[in-house]
Structures are given as structure tokens and as C-alpha cells.
């Protein structure tokens, strides 16, 4: 049986169709549901095994990215969201969805002072570019099983991952929560010291936002929740690669597809 995926929409969401396509190509059944439908009938959660918050600009990113939708979910559907996660199901947040995962507490606790957040890019402007990613050695996340590297596009203005303090960052690493990190576009030279500043942060544009520890994606402690800023759903077909006409060997699929396939195979 195909796992059912709930792709949550809100005013301003604009990546739901691409995300549905990615999950369906990976073998899942999808349904795009507006947040108002869930507010009217929270029992809709029960028919799904995977919950995805896609990218876009929910509610125009007024106030801050993902803030309004996060507040809606926290005040009206917090119990249902926690129940969904605690039932052993999977949760994915892409770009704006990553911001929502952090603000709702589905990824990390939100009691008291936030342990981490996503701030404005260091360049102070929107970035739209392809990035090279590596999976952290300690990562135990379901979505990244068997994935060592990814080449996918990123498009955001508030994607700089920051943490409360060094102790929090160390805890994320020890728990296997650091999922994806930005890497030099020439992946074979990842250890090239000249590309990093004194704090170990990869230089722009390889790290397009200045994220601490070059973090592009973070998981929860169970390994069943993942948030990431870049867009895997935008590299599902090989022809989506920016240099697909100049490649010597054309792969059968885009590099982002395996992430969605991992989610489907988790239930098989």
C-alpha cells in the first residue's frame, strides 16, 4: 500500500504541486490540503502517514517567515501535530516549511528561549542559487538514508541557521540532529581551508546565507522529522539540472528524488 502524504497549504504557499509530484514519483499518494480544512476537521490527520510543509511564502511571510501559519498551528492544532509525530509518522519541512517546523516545536522545543531559529541571510537579500550539500556523518535521519551528497537549488531570504549557544550546537551534533551542511560547489575539495572563515563557516556563495556550522538541514532526535532550506523537490528529473545539456552522462533521475523515496520505503 502507498503511504498517504498530507501536503499542507496556506495563502502564499507556492511549492505544493512540485512537492506532490516528487512524493508521487517516489511511490506515495498525496493530497494537498488547505490549513482551513484542517482547522475545520482536525481528524483529517488520521488518514496520513507523512506530513509535509512545502516551500513558499505562507501568508506573504508577514512579520517573519512562517510566523503566522506557525501561530495558527500552535494555537489550534498543536495537540494533533504532536500526536502525529509521536505516532511514529514522518514530518518534512522544506524552506518555509523548515521555518514552520522550528516555530511550532515539531523539530526542537519552543519552551522558553528558542534553541535555534532561521534569520536573515548575511547578504541581506534573497538568494536563488544551486548549492552543494553533504550529509553530516552523525546524521540518523530517515529521509537521508544512503544519501551522502545532494546538488539542489536554494531560494530564500531568511535561511541563516543560528543557535542559542555553542552548547546547543554541540548537543545537536551529538544527538545526530545536524542533517545537511553546505559544501563547496567542487565537492571533492570540501576540506579546502581557504573556503572557510575563522569560525569554520563556508564562504559565500557556497554557503548562501552564512548559517552557523554550515547547517542547511536539521532533524529531530527520533530521526523522523527533517527540516531543510534547499529544495529537493526542484531536482526530481535530470532535466532540472542547470547543466543537463552539457553532462557527459545523463542520470535517470534528479538527486532530490531519493529523499522522497526514503520516506515512502520507510513504511514498506
> Which CATH number is 181's domain given?
3.40.50.880
Cis peptide before 262 (omega within 30 of 0): no
Which residues are CB-neighbours of 5 under 8 A, at least 6 positions away?
A: 20, 23, 28, 29, 30, 31, 48, 49, 50, 51, 52, 263
Q: How far is CA 153 from CA 32, 139, 190, 240, in A?
A: 23, 21, 19, 10
Q: Is-catalytic flag, 139?
A: no
User: What per-residue confidence (pLDDT) applies to 192?
Assistant: 56
Residue range 154-187, pLDDT digits in tens: 999 999 999 999 999 999 999 999 999 999 987 5
What CA–CA distance (Å, rounded) separates 98 from 93? 4
User: What per-residue confidence (pLDDT) applies to 23?
Assistant: 98
Q: How many domains does the chain have?
A: 1
User: What per-residue confidence (pLDDT) applies to 195?
Assistant: 84
Catalytic residue among 52, 95, 136, 156: 95
Residue range 222-261, pLDDT digits in tens: 999 999 999 999 999 999 999 999 998 999 999 999 999 9
Catalytic residue among 136, 156, 231, 235: 231
User: What per-residue confidence (pLDDT) applies to 191?
Assistant: 54
Domain residues for the domain of 209 are 4-266
Q: Is-catalytic flag, 231?
A: yes
For 17-53, b/e burial (b = at least 16 CB within 10 A) is: ebbbebbbbbebbbebbebeebeeeeeebeebbbbbb
Per residue of the chain (268 residues), give pLDDT as tens.
899 999 999 999 999 999 999 999 999 999 999 999 999 999 999 999 999 999 999 999 888 889 999 999 999 999 999 999 999 999 999 999 999 999 999 999 887 788 999 999 999 999 999 999 999 999 999 999 999 999 999 999 999 999 999 999 999 999 999 999 999 987 545 555 558 888 899 999 999 999 999 999 999 999 999 999 999 999 999 999 999 999 989 999 999 999 999 999 999 8
What CA–CA distance (Å, rounded) separates 207 from 201? 8
User: What per-residue confidence (pLDDT) applies to 187?
Assistant: 53
Is the CB of residue 240 less than 8 Å from the CB of residue 234?
yes
What CA–CA distance (Å, rounded) separates 223 from 227? 11
Q: Is-catalytic flag, 174?
A: no
Catalytic residue among 18, 132, 158, 233: 233
Amino acid at each position: 500500500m502507498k503511504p498517504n502524504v498530507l501536503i499542507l497549504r496556506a495563502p502564499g504557499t507556492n511549492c505544493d504541486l512540485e512537492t506532490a509530484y516528487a512524493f508521487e514519483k517516489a511511490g506515495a499518494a498525496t493530497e494537498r490540503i488547505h490549513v482551513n480544512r484542517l482547522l475545520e476537521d482536525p481528524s483529517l490527520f488520521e488518514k496520513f502517514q507523512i506530513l509535509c510543509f512545502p516551500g513558499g511564502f505562507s501568508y506573504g511571510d508577514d512579520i517573519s517567515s512562517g510566523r503566522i501559519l506557525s501561530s495558527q498551528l500552535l494555537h489550534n492544532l498543536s495537540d494533533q501535530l504532536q500526536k502525529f509525530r509521536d505516532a511514529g509518522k514522518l514530518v518534512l519541512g522544506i524552506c518555509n516549511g523548515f521555518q514552520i517546523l522550528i516555530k511550532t516545536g515539531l523539530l526542537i522545543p519552543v519552551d522558553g528561549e528558542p534553541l535555534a531559529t532561521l534569520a536573515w541571510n548575511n547578504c541581506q537579500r534573497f538568494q536563488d542559487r544551486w548549492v552543494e550539500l553533504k550529509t553530516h556523518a552523525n546524521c540518523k535521519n530517515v529521509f537521508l538514508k544512503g544519501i551522502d551528497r545532494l546538488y539542489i537549488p536554494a531560494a530564500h531570504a531568511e535561511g541563516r541557521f543560528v543557535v542559542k549557544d555553542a552548547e546547543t550546537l554541540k548537543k545537536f551534533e551529538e544527538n545526530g540532529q545536524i542533517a545537511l551542511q553546505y559544501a563547496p560547489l567542487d565537492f571533492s575539495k570540501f576540506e579546502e581551508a581557504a573556503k572557510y572563515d575563522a569560525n569554520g563557516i563556508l564562504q559565500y556563495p557556497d554557503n548562501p546565507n552564512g548559517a552557523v556550522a554550515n547547517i542547511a538541514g536539521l532533524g529531530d532526535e527520533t530521526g523522523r522529522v527533517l527540516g531543510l532550506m534547499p529544495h529537493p523537490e526542484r531536482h526530481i528529473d535530470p532535466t532540472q539540472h542547470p547543466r543537463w545539456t552539457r553532462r557527459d552522462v545523463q542520470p535517470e533521475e534528479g538527486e532530490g528524488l531519493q529523499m522522497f523515496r526514503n520516506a515512502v520505503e520507510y513504511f514498506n
